[in-house]
Amino acid sequence: MQGIAYTTNDGIHISEEWVTKNPPNNPNDYGMVVHELTHVVQDYKGGDGWLTEGIADYVRHKYFEKDIDKLAHQINPDNSSYKQAYTTAAAFLFWLEEKKDKDLVRKLNAASHDGTYKVESFKQLCGTDVDALWKSLTPLRGTPTAGNRAFAFCLCACHTKSYNVFRGDALSLVPGKFCR
């Protein structure tokens, strides 16, 4: 089959070639299945492609791989787009829940499932349209200062604080290491 995995009305299809070329019990294989199982539950009658894939990766990375806060530190609205879907959209949704509405994904999921989702749903739920929300996302931007240090903002709850980090460490920042 083409690709790694996909879900249709008749089930989840997974590439045997992909799975057997990896060592047994590869966590990525389980994460892939969690993503596809989410598509089974989604059964959307509307929605947007990027959002459908973003919610599937949100479930995978928040509840199974438990690394969504790390992903949220890695996205940068200056060189990426939520329309890239998958982990970028998942991290965006996580950030929006932290900043705007703790229940956002459940609401977007329900609206996509019953066919009432529109792109304006973001404005209704978060107060601003989705493109403006994306641009307002404060990434872990490195603004080089003296030496090899960069100035970074944290994306987690204590967002208003800022931290000096080594530039090379910026992408491995995790909430808790610098914030609490």
Task: Examine residue 51 and tell whether it contacts Zn ion (CB under 5 A).
Answer: no
Q: CB of residue 38 vs Zn ion: minimum separation in angstroms?
A: 8
For 102, other C-beta atoms within 10 Å of its C-beta total 10
Distance, CA of 111 to CA of 121 (rounded, Å) = 9
Angle in degrees, 0-180, between the axes of helices 104-114 and 49-59, rounded to the nearest 10: 130
Please tell me whether residue 59 binds Zn ion under the rule CB under 5 A: no
14 binds Zn ion (CB under 5 A): no
Figure out which of the listed residues 14, 55, 56, 93 binds Zn ion, where binding follows CB under 5 A: 56
- The Cα–Cα gap between 5 and 21 comes to 14
CA distance 110 to 179: 33
Work out how close the CB of 28 gets to Zn ion at its nearest, in angstroms, rounded to a whole number: 14
Amino acid identity of residue 5, one-letter, is A
Binding mask 86-125 for Zn ion (x = CB under 5 A): ----------------------------------------
Residues at the interface with Zn ion (CB under 5 A): 53, 56
